[in-house]
Structure 1
Amino acid sequence: MTSELSFEEVTVRYGRSTAVDAVTLRVPAGRVLGLVGESGSGKSTLARAAVGLVPPTGGRILLDGRPVPARGRPRPVQMVFQDPYSSLDPRMTIGETVAEAMPPGVSRPRRRAEVARLLELVHLDPARAGAYPGQLSGGQRQRVALARAIAGRPRVVIADEITSALDVSIQGAILNLVRELQRELGLSILFISHNLAVVRYVADQVAIMLRGRIVERGPADQVLTAPSHEYTRALLDAVPGHRLTARSNP
């Protein structure tokens, strides 16, 4: 089951500093919204507010028109973080990590079978279920993080800069995996990046964030080929080759 994630006039403040300023944004059900902005623009703060890690100062975050539950397991909105090593418990095997995220009440044999299925889904050998994060490469750890996120059968997945800590040679494989998972599972995804060249590969729609505000949004092909805001044009000018089209090769 996929859902629409909506931000309505969401504001997040840290003391006197406003990180997110009255943001209204919608992640359509079964689609990918790319959220782009430079470091410090507020995009990661918005993501953390959606999964309950940061309390909004104002506004509402809704899932299919209802407030996102503040408690309960599994969470209907799951997040994949930038650094796959720090987000995985080094004392747990990857099988234990994935199984921990599953809904409660699943028998041990079914958990083992589901772990194997999820690892295959992210193109990891199920025989690696007994390995620890330190025994895996960065790209493999990020695959585990993706498997853990979908293990809870979320209605929305937030991917926060998930390729920026990886070698360039690995980034394309992870982006391909995100596209594959989105198609196979029909996921609603908020894909966050500072890089338009990355976002254009996975996103149906694009929103541009600057100093805590959304300054432009629309279909990916429209924003990437005919931007209306000067900041979006500056981001495009920073991309090698400049001529971007939606869902072309990275």
Structure 2
Amino acid sequence: MSTLVFDKVSVRYGAATVLDGVSLTVPDGQVVGLVGESGSGKSTLARAAVGLAPLAGGRILLDGAQLPRRGRRRPLQMVFQDPYSSLDPRMTIGESITESIPDRLTRTVRAAEITRLLELVHLDPACAGNLPGRLSGGQRQRVALARALAGRPEVVIADEITSALDVSVQGAVLNLVRETQRKLGLSMLFISHNLAVVRYVSDHVAVMHQGRIVEQGPVTEVLEHPAHAYTQRLLAAVPGRHVPLRAPRGTDVDVPGGH
């Protein structure tokens, strides 16, 4: 079991309340999409989960236990928004991935693991010796996903991982995310401001506004029959006022890049 629970989580910076009593559950083996406009608190929730934002209140639990705030081995890993700043430009791809592989493995086993992970994200293992500067944005984001998976996490948080990519490669990365999540049975919190993207990858969706969850439920139900006025405004702002139906599991489609 790998169920991630945010229980009345609050984050404050000085007098500003960024998250105000957020409660959200990411069920075992499912994808929860978190959607909202910029500044709504989505990324702060992700940073709180991985220990990068201090809690002013509430708890973050994995299978009923508090997440460890320190230590190399963390059951939760995060893929960040910008593929160009998430990788150390002085380290090869293989070295970056190795940082997340458990130390107890031998050098030979680690090398085999790097090959396995690169193949898992559809990259040629030969690129392990390359520096990030030789890769495209889409390739770097695949490496970032491989590095997150190297620690064998129970939950992955993907924070706006396609927003910095060209529209032409967004669909390929999203297809990879869906394929990898299904193959490994991961629990995933997928954060985006793009309703079409959230609908494509998610089983459930939560809508965040001004640091609070205002609506949540099965993705089709929430986006087809939004109950909250803010969700309705988000949908109305989509060009053409149409968010494509979620594709069946196992189906790859082109996902609009529009916001």
TM range (shorter): over 0.9
* Root-mean-square deviation over aligned CA pairs: 1.0
Letter matched to residue 197 of structure 1: A
What's 1:4 paired with? 3
What's 2:80 paired with? 81
- Distance in 1 of aligned mates of 2:243 and 2:217: 15
The alignment partner of 2:33 has SS state of strand
1:185-224 maps to which residues of 2 (within 5 A)? 185-224=184-223
TM superposition shift of 1:245: 5.1
- Distance in 2 of aligned mates of 1:103 and 1:4: 23
What's 1:33 paired with? 32
Tell whether 2:243 aligns with 1:244: yes
TM superposition shift of 1:246: 4.7
1:59-70 maps to which residues of 2 (within 5 A)? 59-70=58-69
TM superposition shift of 1:13: 0.1
CA displacement, residues 25-50 of structure 1 (integer Å, 9 cap, x when unaligned) = 00001000000011100010010000
1:144-155 maps to which residues of 2 (within 5 A)? 144-155=143-154
What's 1:110 paired with? 109
TM superposition shift of 1:95: 0.5
- Distance in 2 of aligned mates of 1:244 and 1:171: 16
Tell whether 2:94 aligns with 1:95: yes
- Distance in 2 of aligned mates of 1:60 and 1:16: 21
Q: Which consecutive residues of structure 2, in runs of 5 or more, have no partner in the other structure?
A: 248-252
Tell whether 2:172 aligns with 1:183: no
Q: Is the 8 A contact 1:224 1:245 kept in 2?
A: no
What's 1:136 paired with? 135
The alignment partner of 2:85 has SS state of coil
- Distance in 2 of aligned mates of 1:219 and 1:159: 19
Q: Is the 8 A contact 2:5 2:62 kept in 1?
A: yes
Return the TM-score normalized by structure 1.
0.97
Tell whether 2:13 aligns with 1:43: no
Q: Is the 8 A contact 1:224 1:246 kept in 2?
A: no
TM superposition shift of 1:171: 0.4
- Distance in 1 of aligned mates of 2:43 and 2:145: 17
Q: Is the 8 A contact 2:76 2:155 kept in 1?
A: yes
Letter matched to residue 242 of structure 1: R
Identity of aligned residues (%): 70
What's 2:250 paired with? none
CA displacement, residues 99-146 of structure 1 (integer Å, 9 cap, x when unaligned) = 110122110011000000100000000000000111100000000000
Report how many residues are paired.
Answer: 249
The alignment partner of 1:52 has SS state of coil
- Distance in 2 of aligned mates of 1:149 and 1:190: 14
The alignment partner of 1:92 has SS state of coil
Structure 1 stretch displaced more, 208-217 or 71-80: 71-80
TM superposition shift of 1:241: 3.6
Q: Is the 8 A contact 2:9 2:59 kept in 1?
A: yes
The alignment partner of 2:87 has SS state of coil
- Distance in 1 of aligned mates of 2:103 and 2:94: 16
Q: Which consecutive residues of structure 1, in runs of 5 or more, have no partner in the other structure?
A: none
- Distance in 2 of aligned mates of 1:73 and 1:125: 28
Q: Is the 8 A contact 2:196 2:244 kept in 1?
A: no
Q: Is the 8 A contact 1:203 1:246 kept in 2?
A: no
